[in-house]
Copies of this chain bind each other. A is one copy, B any other.
């Protein structure tokens, strides 16, 4: 764990240059706008350790898969998040000497991620090998107002000399993915052009034919005044740029403003790309850097208005939660229903794919509560659109009907290639079904069910129907050979969570069918026809609901992780010599598998999802049994434990669990932030605060709160969007203050009491859970 960043409520600050931290900072200081993203690589050349990363959402590469031993059913490719044209590049040299921080003496280095306004800035002084000193100030952002636009302001001031400054702004398609399976490069050049003051480059992926055009334009100021200049053009393979030589004087700054538009064939026709890019670029260029930045700041202020969490008395927690919210908003905006939320967002290549069950299980609640419901709806429609591929996937695995959504995907096709996960971690199907329930329950938007929801529910139910089998031995339905959320057990039988979520899916599907029959009979008739729903299916589903086998431990009164779990040697994590942890770095895989240790919430994940079906005593018994056996080696584990701990009154535990992921990346807790940030687990942190500390639920169409204040904080507040109403909830030691920021009134339930809050008014309730 490395802690080198400064505390601040609204900023991430690095105030010392250490090349060892650079790749970590490149991840943390990433900027993005849901359409594209950029790691915090330097604009100028840098020969030190760095992971170059410019990503265009939805532009991916089907890299030929790599396995040791092929298994039937494996996919041919693994879709890679694709490192795309480097558009930030501005090489700098002084009297012919390149400015490369790996070779300079660097002082006064400051890198700041300004989360309030949405930009990245960096400044430093550098003593070059020749002894000359310069000062550099840089600022850049990707616009959330005009998504294709990135803008950079980059200033150089000589401190102790007069001389010649060479500035070389460029676009470079000679990029690679470090995680390429066979060291291949993925881009071909299609078009390149370089003229004075501007350049344009179109590249195309070698497979799937994604085209990306990047166009740049720039101008230069000296001492605050725009200047005329001459530039040499540079045109090389997959590379376009300009080279400008300027005389510079001591203490006088030279500033380049570089504007880039990145457009892709996902949005425009291929033969229009260069023109479209140019048009968008010209408009941005005309506006100029400061106006673009003002727009950007204002747009970000609006986002914060809906999603901010304020924590008083703990600047570290404050910084962390804002960082998490900021990154989530940088990653996904809901504007494009073909996109989803990759585990690293735009901050690294690792894991490839873009969509895991993380989206439904952890990210959906964040977007549901902090943005217009259309955004969460887009996440659901994404899966609806991929239903045919999920049906193909089930066919490929030998099912005669139904849909199995992929574990990892870009376009709906499965990418992952470990049999125990790809083929067996099928609980993901349940989370995708549950997300529909979650969305409808939260928003009340039942129209979704007839429009899109039932199609998905029916096909998933059909999958479960075929995936279980009747055991004559048990006289019950069983589900064999699965991997639960706890990936530290593979190919297990009757994983309680998977059995439970499967039956829940069947129940909910039947419930939705009934709802549609009664409320949208015409639409239901259509769907009945289209989906060819058979009576025999429905009765089979009922039979499975009634006769599913669930492993239990009667004496302890708990649900059992899976068949045979109690045969394992029962040890608690606290009794383990800490040198064994994390298990996944210290134990061989078989040892992990046969141990009783659990990677992440599994039975508890089920109790979290289906909380209203279980009483607190049951949750408590299971929590008391499983949490001490859980190593939380998934960043997605702690939030569920935090929320359940809060629910059962374990407030200290809830806070402890929250802390485990709150600063996961900022403190490089797992020593892997250099690969990118853990975007999806950031949503879990948000959940810990709002659903855990805030106790927020939606029951029977009503928002429910049961807030408590973690003992370490003076107060905290969060915003919640609920059915068109924006609420601000302030929790202090004494009170819970609810402000209705909308015009219409709303009745919510706090501490089991219904309270009506008129529009634009504030209600104060006594904090009943004060520690």
Contacts and interface: CB of A to CB of B under 8 A. Distances in A.
B73 A473 contact: no
B423 A480 contact: no
A614 interface: no
Contacts of A396: 588
Band of interface residues on A: 35 or more
Nearest to A424: B590
Contact of A587 (B398, B420, B491, B590): B398
Given A398-B591, A469-B569, A588-B423, A418 B480 contact: no
Contacts of A481: 590, 593-594
Contacts of A424: 590
Interface in A33-81: 65-69, 71-73
Contact of A471 (B493, B567, B590): B567
Contacts of A3: none
Given A481-B594, A567-B471, A570-B472, A587 B72 contact: yes
Contacts of A570: 472
A469 B585 CA distance: 23
B68 A588 contact: no
A680 interface: no
A727 to B, nearest CB: 44
A72 B588 contact: yes
B594 A68 contact: no
Contact of A567 (B69, B493, B591): B493
A91 interface: no
A470 B589 CA distance: 20
B588 A397 contact: yes
A588 B588 CA distance: 26
A417 interface: yes
Interface in A571-586: 584-586
Interface in A450-480: 469-474, 478, 480
A424 to B, nearest CB: 5
A568 B473 CA distance: 9
A490 interface: yes
Nearest to A493: B564
B73 A469 contact: no
Contact of A568 (B423, B469, B586, B594): B469
A407 to B, nearest CB: 12
Contact of A591 (B67, B397, B491, B566): B397
A563 interface: yes
A480 B564 contact: yes
Report which residue of A480, A567, A585, A592 has the largest number of chain B beta carbons within 10 angstroms of its beta carbon. Answer: A567
A4 interface: no
A609 interface: no
Contact of A586 (B72, B419, B566, B588): B72
A474 B564 CA distance: 10
A68 B71 contact: no
Contact of A590 (B419, B478, B592): B419
Contact of A417 (B66, B68, B586, B590): B68
A324 to B, nearest CB: 27
A585 B72 contact: yes
A474 to B, nearest CB: 6
A474 B567 contact: yes
Interface in A244-303: none
Nearest to A588: B73
Contact of A478 (B491, B567, B585): B567
Nearest to A423: B590
A473 B69 contact: no
A72 B473 contact: no
A72 B589 contact: yes
Contact of A69 (B418, B490, B569): B418
Residue of A65, A71, A586, A590 contacting most chain B CB atoms (<10 Å): A590
A586 B396 CA distance: 10
A448 B472 CA distance: 50
A584 B569 CA distance: 34
Contacts of A480: 564, 567-568, 593-594
A418 B491 CA distance: 14
A274 to B, nearest CB: 39
Contacts of A588: 71-73, 396-398, 423
Contacts of A72: 584-589, 592
Q: Which of A67, A493, A570, A588 has the most CB of B within 10 A?
A: A588
A18 to B, nearest CB: 29
A491 B493 CA distance: 11
Contacts of A493: 564, 567
Contacts of A67: 66-68
Nearest to A590: B423
A563 B490 CA distance: 15
Interface string A403-426: 000000000000001111001100
A568 B66 CA distance: 32
Interface string A584-608: 1111111111100000000000000
Contacts of A71: 588-589
B397 A566 contact: no
Given A66-B66, A73-B589, 11 more contacts: A67-B67, A69-B418, A72-B587, A398-B587, A398-B588, A470-B569, A472-B570, A473-B567, A480-B564, A480-B568, A480-B593
5 contacts: A471-B567, A471-B568, A473-B567, A491-B491, A563-B564
A-B complex: 6 closest residue pairs judged by Cβ atoms: A73-B588, A423-B590, A481-B594, A473-B566, A471-B567, A71-B589
